[in-house]
Chain A
Amino acid sequence: MTARKITYRDAVREAMREALLADHRVFLMGEDVGRYGGAYACSKGFLEEFGEARIRDTPLSESGFVGAGIGAALGGMRPIIEIMTVNFSLLALDQIVNTAATLRHMSGGQFSVPVVIRMATGAGRQLAAQHSHSLECWYAHVPGIKVIAPATVGDARGMLKTALADPNPVIIFEHATLYNETGELAEMDDYAVDIDRARVRRTGSDISLITYGGSLSKTLAAAELLERDGIGCEVVDLRTLRPLDDAVLVQSVRKTHKAIVVDEGWRSGSLAAEVSARMAEQAFFDLDGPIARVCSAEVPVPYARHLEQAATPQVENIVAAAQKVMRR
């Protein structure tokens, strides 16, 4: 099996291009996805290749075009909706939460909304408090939608196809710092990967580090450092934020008896809180110490670089937390 180096951005672009080529029902809609090429250049060249009907630049009407995407999905299309950042998605929250997530249940199973909504999330580029938040947790709270967070080029390349084949609304969170990251992508005939399981990215026996999305690479780097101290870390990538794959989490903590959850969301009411609660519910008697969390500080993400860094989880925070848990 050969592998090639690819950026996360190109993995996303390849995945979308493949989907557009494979299925005439697929189209891309969002602010500046066409002539501009996408705010993160994920759809560069698409307008020329696929035309205006399928690469639709929208007005700045998040609720309108997300709702239109939901309607188009109901009408037999397979839309990919791009929202520039999770902060802007709040303007479309009504359509996602009140319509996309409820339609199936509210109609007694008559309808389903096969829409894919992609959005950038997270801090790290000094974009301050209206472009940097991690609000995945809010969406992961809502039944009726699936929420995924590809953290690797393999998942960025492979999760979209599975999401488009899913009859339910799927929200894809792409951490904005990942687009320029490069990773090894194994050559395959079919890149599709599951969107319902967590994955162990590194095995270890002393402590479980549970994370997702933009925090995965930081967590792996921390695990590397901790290994030098003789602390064997098992790194679990959640991948799917709703529904959560409890089995993998619990299996890991049953082995290591200790756990830290790394989550760029704010600590209060976070995904980290949910993951911690599930471990406490399902593996309490396997725990050999309190579960720890490394989350963002309870502050709107600030602009200045040193403040932004201090507000969000960093490698050294994860290392320090692990050392503390191991010392107990």
Chain B
Amino acid sequence: MPSLGADMDAGTLVEWLKSPGDKVRRGDIIAVVETQKGAIEIEVFDDGVLSEIRVKPGDEVPVGQVLALIDGADEDSEPPPAETATKAAGLPSRPMDQEPLRTVSQPTADGPKISPAARRLAQSCGLDPGSITPGKDGVIGLREVEAAAHHADTTQPAGIDQRAMRNAIASAMARSNREIPHYYVTSTLDVTPMMEWLGAYNARQPIERRLLYLVPLLRAAALSLRKFDDLNGAFVDGRYQTTANVNIGVAIAMRKGGLITPAILDTASHDLQSLMSKLSDLVRRTRQGGLKSSELSMGTVTLTNLGEQTADALLPIIYPPQVFIIGCGQIQVRPWVIDDAVVPRQLMDVTVAGDHRVSDGRRGAQFLRNFGDLLARPEEL
């Protein structure tokens, strides 16, 4: 059945004008076919003898099916086999336009409406949209989320939704990797002076007043960051804005996986003892629930410390909209060269990551040097 138009996919044989055994010549009309557009004559393109008729009048057959055989015809010019009707499958095809836009479903059909931007902000602050008071019109917008985030008394409900936390981490980290061009700078710091000073300090203190080594690290980082406007702040709407205070977010791991990075507001304003009690309180409330939203939303920089008996170093990922993160590996006794002699020292690899849209690797290196200098004189912290 020949194709007589792109919109023809079948035809009904009306009559044969030739019989088996008849001689046919190129251009002869041998049959009539009924189509959607009316009867059309079928011509042959070769000379030969009509040897076999395969379709009888009244049959509807698809385009491409053999109607009859002509002997003496060049094989190449036979009607194509039926499968060529689907040869379009071999053609390059256009990829589907675009993936459908992923939409966010409302928490409940009857619950308050929340704007897309507000939903995203709430998620990044760890706020449950259900806990936010909507505006007069029943809608939760950016205004309402911001109010909730800044409301000091708003506390997280006890208990952490493991999946929500994983989603929040996934979205923040994916966004970070997507949007933030990271640079990394690493230094190995000799923290022997700090550890020795801390050992001596803790030995003099009653057990409740002893410090974790994370505390001098936080203090040194906070004091140092006050000098680095371009590392402490937020990158929002294509623009970087530094913040007056240094609010270091501390990465606190959850025992069942995941982590939360609540901030110690105005970190630099606290001395070591005050920092220790803040940290202790923060860890307890992180683990048990009861963080303030402001602690979750107002971090301006993050410090993540692997801790004892873990690994030597990590390459941290910036927590948007922040632009800088400090990653501390475990402290280990390793060989170190001092005055041409190899000596055992307590060493810590510190890797910082910065947002290249705001600062350059040179600034990260300057920070590391400053941070190391402060740790070398722990008594001044």
Contacts and interface: CB of A to CB of B under 8 A. Distances in A.
Interface of A: 251, 254-255, 257, 280-281, 284-289, 327-328
A254 B238 contact: yes
Contact of B117 (A251, A257, A328): A257
Interface string B137-167: 1010111000000000000000000000000
A281 B118 CA distance: 17
B115 A288 contact: yes
A305 B117 CA distance: 42
A328 B116 contact: no
A284 B237 CA distance: 14
B225 to A, nearest CB: 27
Contacts of B118: 288
Given A254-B237, A254-B238, A255-B237, A284 B137 contact: no
B256 to A, nearest CB: 29
Contacts of B226: none
A286 B116 contact: yes
B238 A288 contact: no
B101 A287 contact: no
Contacts of B237: 254-255
Nearest to B143: A288
A289 B115 contact: yes
Contacts of A328: 135, 137, 139, 141
Nearest to B237: A255
Contacts of A255: 237-238
B120 interface: yes
A280 B142 CA distance: 17
Contact of A287 (B117, B143, B238): B117
A259 to B, nearest CB: 12
A285 B143 CA distance: 15
Given A285-B117, A286-B117, 11 more contacts: A255-B237, A284-B101, A285-B119, A285-B120, A287-B115, A288-B115, A288-B116, A288-B118, A288-B143, A289-B115, A327-B137
Interface of B: 101, 115-120, 135, 137, 139, 141-143, 237-238
Contacts of A284: 101, 116
A288 B135 contact: no
Nearest to B145: A288
Please list the 7 inter-chain residue pairs (A to B) with the smallest Cβ-Cβ separation, ordered nearest first: A288-B117, A288-B115, A255-B237, A285-B116, A288-B142, A288-B141, A285-B120
**Consensus secondary structure, chain A interface:** helix
A165 B141 CA distance: 47
Most chain B Cβ neighbours within 10 Å, of A254, A286, A288: A288
Contacts of B135: 328
A288 B31 CA distance: 69
Contact of A251 (B120, B142, B238): B238
A205 to B, nearest CB: 9
11 contacts: A251-B238, A257-B115, A284-B116, A285-B119, A285-B120, A286-B116, A286-B117, A287-B117, A288-B141, A288-B143, A289-B141
Nearest to B114: A288
Nearest to A287: B116
A315 B298 CA distance: 40
Contacts of A254: 237-238
Nearest to A327: B137
A291 to B, nearest CB: 11
B240 to A, nearest CB: 14
A254 B117 CA distance: 9
Nearest to B137: A328
A158 B131 CA distance: 55
B127 to A, nearest CB: 16
A251 B238 CA distance: 8
A205 B142 CA distance: 14
B102 to A, nearest CB: 9
A284 B102 CA distance: 10
A232 B274 CA distance: 43
Contacts of B119: 285
A145 B117 CA distance: 36
Contacts of A257: 115, 117, 142
A289 B119 CA distance: 11
Contacts of B238: 251, 254-255
Nearest to A282: B101
A328 B117 CA distance: 14
Q: Which of B117, B118, B237 has the most CB of A within 10 A?
A: B117
A85 to B, nearest CB: 36
Contact of B101 (A281, A286, A327): A281
B140 to A, nearest CB: 10
A274 to B, nearest CB: 15
Contacts of B115: 257, 287-289
